[in-house]
Chains A and B, each alone.
Chain A
Amino acid sequence: MSSHREAPEISKDPVADNTDTYAFVSPDSPETVTIITNYLPAEVPAGGPTFFEFGNDVLYKIHIDNDGDGRSDIVYEFSFESAITNPNTFLYNTGPIGSLGDPNWNKRQFYSVTRVDRHGKDYNVKVLGEGLACPPCNIGPRSTPKYSALAQASMHSLPGGQTVFAGQRNDPFFVDIGSIFDLADLRPFQNLHLIPTAAAPGVDTLQTLNVHSIVVQIPISKLTVDGSVPTNVMSSKAVLGIWGSASRRKVRIADGANSEHSEVGPWVQVSRLAGPLFNEVMIPMSLKDEWNSRHPVDDADFLPHVQHPELAKLLPVLYPKVFPNLEALSASREDLVAIFLTGLPAGVVPGFQNSTGKVLAEMLRLNVAVPPAGEPNVLGIIGGDLAGYPNGRRVIDDVTTIALRAVAGVTYPLVQKSYKPDAAAGAITQGITPLPFRSQATFPYLAAPHDGYDFPSSTA
């Protein structure tokens, strides 16, 4: 969760595993949009001796659809390469790393950023940056004593008022994975489960674990279909479809002679992610990797899993007599179709829409005309905060609670006013209060990664 190791094949390929995607109007720079795609799930901070890095053989992409057809109109591509400066040491660093150019730092990574614009049948390809340095992983007080300075130096300006960062951060996604995947153990009614347990507080599973993040901040005018900065929430031009992906070459040849490998063939998409929990909760295990390989424009093929989600059928079974109205609900879940596949049309939530039309495509849909919230509500739109999920997704949004409540029926009255959600549906909570250090207010909006000395295990 939200897309950590969510499919059988991608779970074996962490550097290509897209764990979360975020997209929001930057709270401290509201003329821009910030997009974050995270990879490498559940990095234990004590990751020596090699620690973690992006895949040099993976093509990372951020896609933007600005005309509602479920296809990429703008793609940001990120390619990485590593360098070992001292081939004679086993160490990641041979002394404190004081700067990005410090000779003590042995294993480094650099990347390029390329923007591809589609104009009808033509493509405009522009390299925005090359040789951009990633920060080191956060090792500990002896090796990375001034980590924030290293991270700050890794924030690069790109042409056109754009900013990029790529490197290790604390994983901001807060969820009790152990509880949810133990047969949907939900709070506050653990004692009402078919296999009851005593009430217990939620556990923020990823709290001390890290992730590798690509963060790019882009002026809104560089993303909209006509280059405008929309101010009318009801304008279709204000809605952007956004998702991330990772691709590998089709063939990899391991060559024992030199311990390296060769690659050939076209790029093949192995991971994608837009809305949180979609692949986890909606798509059956047998189809998860196929879903990862497909593109949003193909998502009509998965429509039945959204119209009749398995979890909505499971909840009344796992919690007898707790979800009677949900149990009786057999109609197609058009509320979930709107949330995940088309966006919310005008007239459903007063003063808001993020519809991209009739094309069924699983994308984050961000209405850029909605300004950042002064006092954000972690429950986003269902909490009355139009700047939060499912209007894009902010780092602070409690998407697990939102998604569970939605599947449990809270959002069905949006399309069928006579439906009365079960009281339990609106009471579902994770029982987690994320600690303040789980995010930060300024770019890259993700908190510094935990270091391996102070957080030697995930239970620290």
Chain B
Amino acid sequence: MKKLRRRSILKTGVGAPAALPAVGRAPHAAADGTSRRAFLEGGAGAAAGAAMILVTPKVASVALDAASPSASADSAAVVTKPSGPAPHEPVTAYVRNAERGEVTVMSGKQETTYRDPVLVKRLLDAAR
């Protein structure tokens, strides 16, 4: 199985590697601009925020790789104290279905569900 790269997780939907097949994307007016349902659920509130937030994970992932070249490696998680308060709109992931290896990632006002058993396993390990 292809190794998981943290940077790829931080990316939202666009350009997701083959190891992270998107199995569901929340409707979003700014993302596709075509869905009537997206209009109902997202509207301008979603559109206005998305452009700003789409940049954030990329910036974060680049900074992470630069600061710690080993971050891309499949290293064990280390318990640490939070270095500060939660950011304004933190990239957030949760295990949606452990048996199916589904993890949902939210960034800004976007939400994407991936099938990624490796990441799910790491999250479950960290939860123990």
A contacts, CB < 8 Å to B: 59, 61, 63, 71-72, 75, 77, 79, 114, 116, 118, 121-123, 125, 247, 249-251, 253, 255, 257-258, 260, 262-269, 295, 297
Besides A247-B41, A262-B87, 16 new A-B residue pairs in contact (Cβ under 8 A), listed by A number: A72-B39, A79-B45, A123-B33, A123-B47, A125-B47, A250-B106, A253-B92, A257-B82, A257-B86, A258-B85, A262-B89, A265-B109, A266-B41, A266-B109, A269-B41, A295-B41
Q: A95 to B107, alpha carbons, bound, how many Å? A: 44
In the bound complex, how far is the Cα of B84 from the Cα of A118, in angstroms?
42
> How far is B116's CA from A206's CA once the two chains are assembled, in angstroms?
53
Give 14 CB contacts A-B under 8 Å.
A59-B45, A71-B39, A75-B43, A118-B39, A121-B33, A123-B39, A250-B111, A255-B85, A260-B85, A265-B109, A266-B109, A295-B37, A295-B40, A297-B40
B40 close to A71 (CB less than 8 A): yes
With both beta carbons as reference points, the residue of chain A lying nearest to B32 in the complex is identified as A121
Inter-chain contact A264/B90, CB cutoff 8 Å: yes
Give the contacting residue for B36; candidates A114, A118, A264, A268; CB below 8 A: A118
In whole angstroms, what is the CA distance A247 to B44 when docked? 13
Q: How far is the CA of A427 from the CA of B111 in the complex (A)?
A: 53
**B88 sits at the interface (CB 8 A):** yes
CA separation between A384 and B15, bound complex, in Å?
62
For B109, the chain A residues whose CB sits under 8 A away are 249, 265-267
Residue B34 CB within 8 A of the other chain: yes
Give chain B's interface residue range (CB within 8 Å of chain A): 20 to 34
Asked if residues B36 and A262 are in contact (CB atoms below 8 Å), the reply is no
Determine how close the nearest CB of chain B comes to the CB of A358; give it in whole angstroms. Answer: 17
B117 at the interface (CB under 8 A from A): no
Interchain CA distance A113-B20 in the complex, whole Å: 38
Does B46 touch A at the CB level, under 8 Å? Answer: yes
Q: Is B9 an interface residue (CB 8 A)?
A: no
Q: Contacts A123-B29, A123-B33, A257-B82 given: A263-B40 contact, CB under 8 Å?
A: no
Q: In the complex, A272 Cα to B92 Cα: how many Å? A: 27
How far, in angstroms, from A98 to B28 measured CA to CA in the complex?
44
Q: List the B side residues contacting A269 at CB < 8 Å.
A: 41
CB of B91 within 8 A of chain A?
Answer: yes
Interface string of B98-124 (1 = CB under 8 A from A): 000000001111110000000000000
Bound complex: CA A249 to CA B42 (Å): 11
Within the assembled complex, what's the spacing in Å between the Cα atoms of A71 and B43? 12
Q: What 3 pairs across the A-B complex have the smallest Cβ distances? A: A265-B106, A262-B86, A125-B44
CA distance A249 to B49 in the complex (A): 12
| Chain B residue contacts of A59, Cβ below 8 A | 43, 45
Closest B residue to A257 by beta carbon equals: B85
Do B46 and A267 touch across chains, with their CB atoms under 8 A apart? yes
Residues of A within 8 A of B86 (CB): 253, 255, 257, 262
A317 CA to B95 CA, complexed, in Å: 49
- Which B residues, 8 to 65, have Cβ-Cβ distances below 8 Å to chain A? 26-29, 33-34, 36-37, 39-48
Are B111 and A266 neighbours in the complex by a CB distance under 8 Å?
A: yes
Q: How far is the CA of A260 from the CA of B84 in the complex (A)?
A: 13
Roughly how many angstroms separate A267 CA and B46 CA in the complex, as a whole number? 7
